[in-house]
Structure 1
């Protein structure tokens, strides 16, 4: 295996003469494409069912809808959904650490897929306790898989300057959206119309298919994907295990006392996780910013990056409610038919990936066209556009919420339009955010900064969760309008102070 890392090794990903390729790319891309497609199929299928299952049979459910859920309020469902999404992105950082220090990317992905499959199977077993165990397993597995499978795509190419590299990641990204598009149509229909737990079981089948083809196709992957880049020393391993065990014992003792004294409620779990999800992103940024080893230029770039991080957190706070607040609205207050075709509300979760596949090439072409005319917006302006659009989507959302206040079911085209606006905003902000993160990362933290970017999602989702736990009605027009105003103001602030932010960015544009 070590030979693949030497200068004399054959270029990774270059197929042998007459060898098979995948759309002109290394054959291993097909393995990773299919693995990611099935993982996203299972993830987005379960995600489409999650808020609907939480409210099924409860006061927030649609009358006459399928029972058998956990009968929670809409506020609790939004809080749980938001925490789940936050943990997936938070766990991407330790997931990357395991790939770098313990198992290597290939082994980490295989183990992660097994954990995800076990989580979906656990969700398929009725009972609230089993539900939360299953949810934790899926979040853990997704975090382990997320960072490492992307690393393995990079291993297929001859370094960052390989001309096929960007195209390879584009093909890989299509796998994500194909899985995300198909999942609600299949898993959502079965889960919502027939059995929640059968739907969760289908998500497990999807992940099982992904795992099987990954194991069969590993021979096509780069040998580097099996290498642990920086293995833990014996001393480091023992220290890590000791600290982890101490924290586990402390948590077990604390919650044991809470349960035995009869004080335990769901908030005893939700509140600490939410707070952790807010404290860690802030702590990571502060630690990097205060590092005295950074040069003055790197310190300046980190100051500029904090602007982007906060803006992204506001964006994701609203964007991820497309799967919670808007999903519940789609179930309870939106017509379930269009053009004479009846459909379950979970199908709304296929709208975003459909728009991504349709609009991403158009917007990418638009940036190139503007660039040729020297009129392409700067990174700061693109961020401002993303925030304006996500705010505008919730301004529009206020209208159908008002129309439905008297019990009237609104047209599904309202949600389709809102998702379209949000998708355009996502395409303005998300790819640019990934790019600017790599460009502004201090050399010392180059491999960690992508995890820092994902922490913006964690911070945004934990803010949503904390508001829900505090009793704020995120399903009301007042709060939706307030969130819209916040995003628009944040976009205006980025635009107004764009020259100051650009100055902090140094040579990055």
Structure 2
């Protein structure tokens, strides 16, 4: 009776937010401001400061700037795998986030100091990419580490605020930094993001005694890479009726091997993700350079007439994205389900790719006008941002959901790392194309509007293959299975 009374009291205790959360969210908002603030002016700065003064024509200068931008993003999104392994196996998340953040600050400092030296500036970009990527996989996981059974009901709310801080940092940076660059110069425009990154590091350090720090677990041999490589080199041990990965069950945990089978199934869909990121990331580079050639946009807000700078137009993307998430989740998806059109993840993903292509059709049509010497309205590009944001809602968010539901608990971190790596692959391809253009290679035939039409045709080819492959992919919803398992166990009790 006493135990029952205590249990009832425990159930009615109001859960408390973890004390370290404000420091983590404050750190994330400042870090995202620094990253997106620097990136908002990166391509236009590279063109104006380094490549046009060297005597390159506009096409080559744009291609060189875009190549550097995409290599930077590719490195930043390849590094999360390294950061995750360093945190989980050797140092723990807190140490990786803190010490890599210091490295991150050094990168920003180099951008401000070497704004007239391309070599020093590029080294600064490499250091920032290592810093941003190194902590990326650790920060969101560090949020989850702060919770236990007493307050896990608050986790979804905290993650909501966490992702809000990411988009808030992006929006404010995209508005502020281009303005600072125009009126106060590049040193301040690159220096202020560095100051924000230093602030982010200080905020994180101040919360060190209030955060829960999970210790490293040591090297886990039952991982995706070890098991996949072992299976490949021991294919001769495969028995009739077994899959290739089954041979690894002789040496590794059989349950982990089954989980890695699920990862490979999901990767059949992930094979179509790099083309999405190859196109999406152009909205922060190629599209920004296009905006410099459009009719200047002015917004009349009550008493103020605001001139919108070309680098600020990209702010439309996070604004549309934040608006579309609730519209799709609470409006469009339920409505379509109600009228008998089931919005499965694979259907959402396919239509999201289609909308991404539509956004590029709009951009290509705009570029045709620019190539003809005209200056179309910036509102047309904002329309493209709106369509792209709808595509991002369908591809990016659905892709993350699909990866989560189609993989067992032991493989969710692996799926997260692979998802981020698809961003690196997409940007590596675009960097290769831009390098070819700048060196008069094969892709130099695709300049101006032809560049965007090339990606439209490429995506169309991917879509045709996707329509053939997606119905044949075997799905296994681990979340539903876990819920059914728990329900069955509860019934048996």
- TM (normalized to structure 2)? 0.79
The verdict on how the C-alpha distance between 1:421 and 1:368 changes in structure 2, with shifts beyond 3 A counting, is: closer
1:62-89 deviations in Å (ceiling 9; x for gaps): xxxxxxxx99711111111001001111
Output aligned runs, 1:153-192, within 5 Å. 153-158=143-148, 162-192=152-182
1:38 aligned residue: 30
2:372 aligned residue: 406
1:208 aligned residue: 198
Query: How many matched pairs?
Result: 431
SS at match of 2:76: helix
1:335 aligned residue: 296
Q: Is residue 337–residue 343 contact of structure 2 (8 Å, CA) maintained in 1?
A: no
Distance 1:101 1:285 in 2: 17
Distance 1:76 1:349 in 2: 20
Q: Is residue 84–residue 138 contact of structure 2 (8 Å, CA) maintained in 1?
A: yes
- Per-residue deviation, 1:314: 0.7
Distance 2:70 2:397 in 1: 22
1:123 aligned residue: 111
Distance 1:326 1:367 in 2: 28
Tell me if 1:360 matches 2:321.
Answer: no
The verdict on how the C-alpha distance between 1:37 and 1:370 changes in structure 2, with shifts beyond 3 A counting, is: same
The verdict on how the C-alpha distance between 1:71 and 1:465 changes in structure 2, with shifts beyond 3 A counting, is: closer
1:293 aligned residue: 248
Distance 2:260 2:208 in 1: 41
SS at match of 1:377: coil
Deviates more, 1:448-457 or 1:299-308: 299-308
Distance 1:42 1:396 in 2: 30
Tell me if 1:230 matches 2:217.
Answer: yes
1:452 aligned residue: 418
2:240 aligned residue: none
- TM (normalized to structure 1)? 0.77
Question: Which one of 59, 68, 71 corresponds to residue 80 of structure 1?
Answer: 68
The verdict on how the C-alpha distance between 1:163 and 1:102 changes in structure 2, with shifts beyond 3 A counting, is: same
1:54 aligned residue: 46
SS at match of 1:447: helix
Distance 1:28 1:180 in 2: 23
Deviates more, 1:128-137 or 1:452-461: 128-137
- Per-residue deviation, 1:457: 0.5
Quote the RMSD (CA, aligned, Å): 3.2
Output aligned runs, 1:99-498, within 5 Å. 99-126=87-114, 127-158=117-148, 162-221=152-211, 223=212, 225=213, 227-231=214-218, 287=229, 290=232, 291=245, 292-293=247-248, 301-339=262-300, 340-366=305-331, 369-370=334-335, 373=338, 375-441=341-407, 445-471=411-437, 472-473=443-444, 475-498=447-470
1:95-133 deviations in Å (ceiling 9; x for gaps): 111111222111211112212211111100131222012
2:485 aligned residue: none
Q: Is residue 192–residue 346 contact of structure 1 (8 Å, CA) maintained in 2?
A: no
Q: Is residue 188–residue 199 contact of structure 1 (8 Å, CA) maintained in 2?
A: yes
Gap regions ≥5 residues in structure 1: 1-13, 62-69, 237-280
Deviates more, 1:420-429 or 1:193-202: 193-202
